[in-house]
Structure 1
Amino acid sequence: MTAVIVGLGPMGRGIARVLDKAGIPVRVVDLTPELGRAGLERIQAEASADGETVSITAADDVETALGGADLLIEAVVEDMAAKRELLARVAAAGGPNLLAASNTSSLSVSEMGRAYGSPERLLGLHFFNPPTKMRLVEVIVGAATDDASVKRALALVEQLGKTAVICKDSPNFIVNRVCRPLYYEAQLLVSQGVEAAVVDAAARGGLGHRMGPLQLLDFTGLHTHLASSETALREFGDPRYRPIPQVRGLVRGGMTGRAVGRGFYDYAKESPREANQRVLRVPGPASELSVQSEWLGLEGELTVFRCGAPTPDKVSTLKRLAAGGDVVLDSSDGGWLGALPHGVGWIHLHKRPDGALFAEVVDDPAANVEVPPIVDRLLDQLQAPSVRVLALPGLVVDRLAYCMTNEASTVVEEGTASARDVDVALRLAMNHPRGPFENLAAAGIDTVYAGLRSMTDAFGDPRYRPSQLLRRQALGLVRAR
């Protein structure tokens, strides 16, 4: 096999190195012969910095590079007109068995297939940045891509030592689409009064994410995210994909993230790491406190009342317990705001995949929700780090997780990707400890469905409406009981 890489930005250079390392002869091309040679020099320098050598060659133009080639991967600018122009040249110069692939992260592979003229031999190979280190490749199947081309692509990804997931051509594919509500909800939480550092610390502590969603947006650039949000809204035509106004305001003000020193964080004042540490309460020495809770497997002077949505019976029970001693409510359901007895603490405990506990503590002066001293004693006893959050439906952690799971469910429902591939994609591309469906299994379908319905009722926003697949699964559980 001989491969041609067109476009020598960071992605094209990285993909070329990945193919070369797998023993595949690689020719690289850019807009001009001079840019092609300069790109090759950068590839050689980057490989040398990593203690590697490459045997890649540069060609003066696409037509020359394609002689005898079996594979072409284009990584030119994310502009459909530019890609259409390139593919027309490739179609004219390439052989009848040439497999053409685009590294696009957002544009329609099916549309490119039509431009290519042989849509059965065109698909997407979406590598993640940096290609030399990231293990995932999304194989994007266009409307007319044939099975033989998909098999060739899967074999190539395996030869590269990477993991492939299959996705039908759809806006944002798998990873960027399923993560979209993670970013949207993080932004909305800030617009509703939650500090950015609290959102990120909660995502890291409760979900095990290596980087909070707002820090990640600052890193990649809010202008880039806003542009992709506009595309998602246009492509799907669904109001739940609409951009968040606060981000539009930041971009208009030139506050696009880390590169300019200001986004969701003000980098002149403190780094995201420092801000996250500032809002995180680290537990003190374990207190001598005995706790009664079926979930924690303990019994004693403090009752932890763990439940979902409030009902008249649950509210009555909680009031009775509160009259007899210290009680802490453990729930993320926003319905408790109107039913929480005075003096009862409100938290939500999370058990991460690694077994560590993390807590959200509701502290909301506007809602007259205070934190009684018994809450900190409980968290010391459990050795659970915590952040303080507002009394918003879903709080922070469940709101982020449930909305991601709902989007993942929609992706599966419409046949864009399988549940297995969604989970693999999110673990490998985002370093999430669990994929959305693994989170769904851990939380329970009925719990997630009820949480989404509660947020839909509380916010009155179609963003939170459960997918029909999730609804059917939740009601199916009820019918099976």
Structure 2
Amino acid sequence: MSLLEGVTVAVAGMGPMGRGIARVFRAAGADVIVSDLTPELTQAGVDAIASESEADGEPVTVAGMPLTDAVARADLFIEAIVERMDAKASLLKAVAQAGRPELLVASNTSSLSIGEMGKEFGDPARVAGLHFFNPPTKMRLVEVIAGAATAPATLARVTALVEAAGKTPVACTDTPNFIVNRVCRPLYYEAQLLVMQGVEPAVVDAAASGALGHRMGPLTLLDFTGLHTHLASSETALREFGDPKYRPIPIVRGLVRNGMTGRAAGRGFYDYASEKPREAIARVLHPAPAESTGRVAFTGPDAPASDLEGADVVVYSCGAPSESGLARIRELLERAPVVVDSSDAGWVEQLPDGAAWARVHQPEGAGPFVEVVVDPVAGIQPGPAIELLLAGLGAASVEVPALPGLVADRLAHCMANEAYFVLEEGTADADAIDTALRLGMNHPIGPFEHVRRAGVGAVHASMRSMRDAFGDSRYRSSALMRRESAAAAR
């Protein structure tokens, strides 16, 4: 028998999220009642749930009632209305008047304070956050947020009901943006900054997908969700944390002011009338050759030594330039073409004559992907060594300028650093953070899994290099990362 059998769930707000949440609980066996601002909107929600579930081959029906009637019958009330605290506060006061003393209350907010909602409700012990992801019927993740006064029994009960509904709950405390939206904030910020620094949006998205395995590049995703929504959430993060690293990026302010809010408006980072993201990415992406030809040898302080004899091209994998590394590269150049495999900012000034520069990635469950540094401003050209590398690895590639961190490492390392801040603050544990990013964003690995593969020392050095090169405090490493890096070095 399902834990949800005999449980009545009331859902307020019949937008896409509210309808999806209602479908999830009804399909899992709960009795579901929905409500919206007017009887007409409520009935429209009931009808939409029936037609959408029928179209998906999982037909369900729900009941529609006025809010007070729905709440009076409910064991669990979930609000999914507009993301404004004043609107939610007004709703919760009405729920407190109509609900039974044992009613559990949850908000589907993506960033607003659960503790503040608990105060507005009048009994914060019974209020928790249940942040579903869009679309709720498909996405497995639910962030379960504890306000400062949320009772452990409330958290245990709502977590059990989420699991009974077939979802994966991850626990976190009540901080702005919670886990996924918080950890992904630098992903979006750095993608926008890259565009401001001259990188084409399609190149950013191609690198994120090809090197990191993201199903949708960050700029395509921002256009899809709406730049105005992202800007509002950025303003909230800056206000709540008071940290300048959360300041919105100017390019988004400009786009929003001009009505270019993304796909729905026909223009955002992409101009949908002339070239959709998929077409733009296909234009900048160099596909992998049909078959690998030639031999690639890897060496360097950051790579196991391999047999260099007979290599068509040698890849020197490393971090920052060093005297010994530069001497070794010059020695290798006397034997074969050499590609420096690094994203460190120092190579823009110290790349030896004759060497090419790239960053070789081996993403989870996919073939190799290479960021090729091509930067006429910095006087860096790919040369024949890159052709030999791509042919030997059978790798897809994209051309990027000589910016600190290049593209993929810059995105991944800034995300990982933010994950360390989230862990350090006690918002969530490392396993919860990794699970949240895998399930909430469909990333193949979480940020701490990425750090384990890359090495915490390498990620910390990358952040330090970007901080030194850009002079921006947004690239400061978390104290926890610095400490772990120091321990690894010992």
TM-score interval for Structure 1 and Structure 2 normalised by the shorter chain: over 0.9
**Cα distance in 1 between the residues matched to 2:352 and 2:449:** 34
Aligned match of 2:3:
none
Match of 2:166 in 1: 161
Equivalent residue for 2:330, pick from 296, 319, 326: 319
1:438-477 alignment runs, 5 A limit: 438-477=449-488
Q: Which sections of structure 1, spanning at least 5 residues, go unmatched?
A: none
Which residue, 207, 215, 220 being the options, matches 1:215? 220
Matching residue of 1:329: 340
Structure 1 residue aligned with 2:76: 71
Q: Say whether the 8 Å CA contact 1:307–1:331 is kept in structure 2.
A: yes
* Maintained 8 Å contact 2:104/2:126: yes
- SS at the partner of 2:77? strand
Counterpart residue identity of residue 16, structure 2: P
Letter of the structure 1 residue corresponding to residue 186 of structure 2: P
Q: C-alpha deviations, 1:390-437, integer Å up to 9, x for none? A: 001110010000000000111010000111011111111111000111
Equivalent position amino acid for 2:404 in 1: P
Matched, 1:36 2:47: no
CA distance in structure 2 between the aligned counterparts of 1:56 and 1:17, rounded to whole angstroms: 8
Q: Give the match for residue 419 of structure 2.
A: 408
Q: CA deviation at 1:68?
A: 3.6
User: What does residue 14 of structure 1 align with?
Assistant: 20
* Deviation at residue 321 of structure 1 after TM alignment: 2.6
Distance 2:258 2:228 in 1: 11
TM norm structure 2: 0.95
Tell me the equivalent position of 2:138.
Answer: 133
Provide the rounded CA distance (Å) in 2 between the counterparts of 1:241 and 1:201: 25
Cα pair 1:285 1:380 within 8 Å, conserved: no
Q: Once the two structures are superposed, what CA deviation does each residue of 1:92-132 show, in whole Å capped at 9, x if it has no partner?
A: 22111110001111111000001111100001111111111
Structure 1 residue 269 corresponds to structure 2 residue 280: no
The question of 1:202 aligning with 2:207 is answered yes
Q: Report the Cα distance in structure 2 between the residues aligned to 1:349 and 1:426, rounded to whole angstroms.
A: 23
Once the 2 structures are TM-superposed, how far is the Cα of residue 286 of structure 1 from its aligned partner? 5.1
Could you report, residue by residue, the CA deviation over 1:339-382 in whole angstroms, capped at 9, with x for unpaired residues? 11122100110011115211011000000011111211221111
Q: Deviation of residue 298 (structure 1)? A: 4.9
Residues 22-75 of structure 1 show CA distances to partners (whole Å, capped at 9, x for unaligned) of 111111111122221222122122222223333421112x22222242111111
Pairwise CA distance, 1:319: 2.6
Structure 2: stretches of 5+ with no match in the other structure: 1-6
Cα deviations across residues 113-163 of structure 1 (Å, max 9, x unaligned)?
011111000011111111111111110100100100000011101110110
1:25 counterpart = 2:24: no
Q: 1:389 and 1:53 mapped to 2: Cα distance?
A: 48
Find 1:95's aligned residue among 63, 79, 100: 100
Matched pairs, number: 478
Give the conservation status (yes or no) of the 8 Å contact 1:345–1:371.
yes
Residue 438 (structure 2) aligns with:
427
Q: Secondary structure at the match of 1:12?
A: helix
Identical amino acids, percent of aligned pairs: 60
Structure-1-length-normalised TM-score: 0.97
Q: Following TM superposition, where does structure 1 have runs of at least 4 consecutive aligned residues deviating by more than 4 angstroms?
A: 285-288, 295-298
Post-superposition CA distance 1:271-295 (Å, at most 9, x none): 1111111111123355753333244
**SS at 1:367 equivalent:** coil
Letter in 2 for 1:397: A
8 A Cα contact 1:290 1:298, kept in partner: no
Alpha-carbon distance change, 54 to 365 in structure 1, aligned in 2, over 3 angstroms: same
2:260, 2:266 within 8 Å by CA — same for their partners in 1? yes
In terms of mean alpha carbon deviation, does 99-108 or 25-34 score higher? Answer: 25-34
Matches within 5 A, 1:231-246: 231-246=236-251
